[in-house]
Structure 1
Amino acid sequence: MRFWLFPFLAIAIWAGNVVVSKMASGAISPLAITFYRLALAISIMSLFIAGPVWKNRVQVKRYWPKLMFLGFLSMAFYQCLSYWAADTSTATNMAIITALTPLLTMLVSSLVLREYPTVGMVLGGAIALWGTAYLISGGAPLELIKGNYRIGDVLMLTAAISYAFYSVLLRKWQIALPAWQSTYMQAISALVFMLPMFLWVPKGQAMLDTATIPLILYAGILASVVLPFFWIKGIEYLGPNRCSVFMNLLPVMTAGLAIVLLDEHLKAYHVMGGGIALLGVFIAQTWRGRFFARRSVSSEPLSGE
C-alpha cells in the first residue's frame, strides 16, 4: 500500500508546479524560467548521474538524436507553453487540461503505433472533448465558434498534446537506457535548445530576485528532480496504467492550492466541465473493449522502426 505514495506525492508536487507557473506569470519570462529550471536540475542530477552516463557514453551516443527530440518536446516546448499559458489561463483550467494527457496519449498512440482504439477511448474521448469545450468556454461551448476563448487554455492544450506525442515516441523508440540517464540527457538536450532563446530575453525579464528565485528552486528541484523520482518509482512498483489514474487528482489538488494561494474562485463551469472531462478520461482508461478484433497477421514491423 505504501507504494501508492509515490505517484500521489508526484501529483502533489505537479499541482504545486502548476501554481508556481501561475505565480511566475509576469514576474519572469517563460523562456528564462525554463532555462533556469533546466540548468538547476541538470546541476543537481549531475552529482549522481554524470558518472554513469559517461561510462555508458557509447549507448548514449547511439540514441542522442532521439534523446534531443524527446528533450525538446517534454522539457523545452511543453514547459515554455505551460508558462505562456499561465499568462491568460487559470491554474485550475491548466490542471484540468493537463489531466487530459493520458487520454491524448492513447489517441496519439492509436495513430502513431497503429493500435486499434477501444470503446472506452472513443466514448471517453467524446465525453472529455465536450467537457473540455465547456471548461475553456466558461460554460458556453457555442462561444468557441465565435472565437471566444482564453488563448492560455489553447496553449495548455497544445502543450498536453505535445507531451502525449512525447510519451508515445518514448514507447515507440524503446530507448535502451536507464530512466534517470534518459531523463538527464533529455534535460541537457532541452537546455541546448533553450540557450539561444534565453540569450534573446531582455535583461529585465530574466531577473533573479526574491520573487523569482523561490519559483525557480521549486521548478528546478522539486518539479524537475524529486517529481520524476517519485513517478519513476511509482511506475516501477505499480506500473504505468495504475499510475496514470492518479492524474485525475491533479485538478483537485491544484484547485485547492489555487484557492488558498492565488485567490482563484472555483466556479460552476470548473466543476461541470472539469468533472465531465475527467469522467471521459476515466472511461478511456478503464473500458478496454475493442471495436474490432485485432488482426492475426500483425507481426510486421511498423514503418520507420
Structure 2
Amino acid sequence: MYNKYYIFLVMSCILWGFQPVTIKFVTLEMDILTVIPIRYLFLTITIFILMKITGEKEFLPKKSCVLSLMAMGFFGVTVSNGVQFTGLSYSTVGNMTIISTTAPIITAVLARIVLKERLNLLQVCGIIISFCGTLYLLSKGTMDTFINMSFNRGDIYFFIGEVAWVVYILFSIPVLKKMSVLSVTAWPGLFGAIFTAIYAHFVVGLNVVLLSPLALCSFMYIVWGGGVSAMMLWNLGTKFVGASHAAIFLNLMPVVGVISAYFTLGEMITVQEVVSALIIISGVYITTHANQLMEKFNLKIQKNG
C-alpha cells in the first residue's frame, strides 16, 4: 500500500547520506553556521518558485499552522542543524553519528505518546534489528568504540539535536494534513533560515565568502539535492506512512555514507560493513512490511493447523 512512499523515504535518505561528503568541501571554506541559513534561504526561494509555476492556490500558510511551521523551522533547522554542528566543537563526528542512531527509537516513543501511533511487536523488533545493525556498522566490529566513548558537553548538544529533529517530524504530521508538501517544506525552511541567521550572528558571526568551483558545486548539491529534493521526498513520505515508519529509514543514512565514501574518497568497503547494511535493511523491511509478514505467518499456521 505504501511502497511508493517508502521509495520516497529511501530516496531522501540516499540524498542525505551522500550529503556529508559535500558539506565537508563547503565547510573547508565557509563556517557551517553561515552555510545553514544561506542554504535554507535558497531552498525556500526555489520552492516558492515551484509553487508559482505549479499554480499553488494556498501560497500563504494557514493561520492555524503558522506557529507549527515556525516550530518546525526552529527545531528542524536551527536546533537540529545549528546545535549539532556547534557540538562538534566539543565532541567528535563518531559520537555524533552514534547518538544519531537514537532518532528512530525516540520517534517511535514520542509518536506513540503524542500522535497515538501504534506499533505491533514485529515492527518493534524491526526497529531494534535496524538499530543493532547501525551500532554494528559504527562499532567496526569491536566494542572498544563504545567502551572508549567519553561523553561531554558536545554529546548533549548532539542528543538535543536528535530530539529536535524528532519534534520536527511530529509537528509535520498534522500540518501535512492541512497544507501541501511544497508549503510545509518551504515555510519552515524560511523560518529556520531566519532563526539560524540570528543564532549564527551571536555565536560566530555571519561571514559569506566566495566559494571555489568544487565548494560551489557541493553547496548547490546541499541546496537542491540534500535540501529541496530530499526534504520534499521526506515530507511526502512522512505524510502517508507516519512518523514511526518514516524514522526507521534514517538508519539507512550511514550505509549510504559508507558507499558514497567508497566512490568519492576511495575508502574501502569491508565485510563487516556489508553485513551491517544487510542487518539494517532487514530491520527496515520488517518494520515496513510487518502487517503483510504477520498475515502470511497466520495463513501458514491456519493451513498447517
Structure 2 equivalent of residue 14 of structure 1: 16
Structure 1 equivalent of residue 129 of structure 2: 127
Query: Retained in 2: the 8 A contact 1:133–1:141?
Result: no
1:279/1:4 CA distance change after superposition, 3 Å:
closer
From 185, 210, 228, the counterpart of 1:225: 228
Structure 1 equivalent of residue 259 of structure 2: 256
1:197/1:162 CA distance change after superposition, 3 Å:
closer
Query: Retained in 1: the 8 A contact 2:126–2:284?
Result: yes
Greater share of helix: 2
Structure 2 equivalent of residue 197 of structure 1: 199
Aligned sequence identity (%): 19
* Residue 240, structure 1, aligned to residue 241, structure 2: yes
Query: Retained in 1: the 8 A contact 2:141–2:272?
Result: yes
Q: 45-54 or 181-190, which moves further after superposition?
A: 45-54
Structure 1 equivalent of residue 69 of structure 2: 67
1:156/1:120 CA distance change after superposition, 3 Å:
farther
Structure 2 equivalent of residue 212 of structure 1: 215
1:204/1:229 CA distance change after superposition, 3 Å:
closer
1:31/1:259 CA distance change after superposition, 3 Å:
same
Q: Deviations over 1:178-198 (max 9, x none)?
A: 221122111111012112123
Root mean square deviation of aligned Cα: 4.3
The 5 A counterparts of 1:137-148 are: 137-141=139-143, 144-148=146-150
1:136/1:184 CA distance change after superposition, 3 Å:
same
CA distance in 2, matches of 1:131, 1:139: 11
Query: Retained in 2: the 8 A contact 1:99–1:278?
Result: no
Give, as a single letter, the amino acid of the residue that structure 2 aligns with 1:284. Answer: T
1:164/1:37 CA distance change after superposition, 3 Å:
same
Structure 1 equivalent of residue 47 of structure 2: 45
1:202/1:249 CA distance change after superposition, 3 Å:
closer
CA distance in 1, matches of 2:56, 2:190: 12
Query: Retained in 2: the 8 A contact 1:72–1:193?
Result: yes
CA distance in 1, matches of 2:238, 2:125: 27
CA distance in 1, matches of 2:279, 2:103: 15
CA distance in 2, matches of 1:128, 1:166: 22
CA distance in 1, matches of 2:278, 2:88: 21
CA distance in 2, matches of 1:168, 1:64: 15
Q: Deviations over 1:251-298 (max 9, x none)?
A: 444322211212334345534455444433433333347xxxxxxxxx
State the SS of the aligned residue for 1:212.
helix
From 67, 89, 93, the counterpart of 2:93: 89
Q: Per-residue deviation at 1:66?
A: 1.0
Structure 2 equivalent of residue 300 of structure 1: none
Aligned residue-pair number: 283
Structure 1 equivalent of residue 112 of structure 2: 110
Structure 2 equivalent of residue 266 of structure 1: 269
Q: Deviations over 1:212-252 (max 9, x none)?
A: 3222221112222233445566679xx53798787665444
State the SS of the aligned residue for 1:28.
coil
Give, as a single letter, the amino acid of the residue that structure 1 aligns with 2:93. Answer: S
TM-score after normalising by structure 1: 0.70
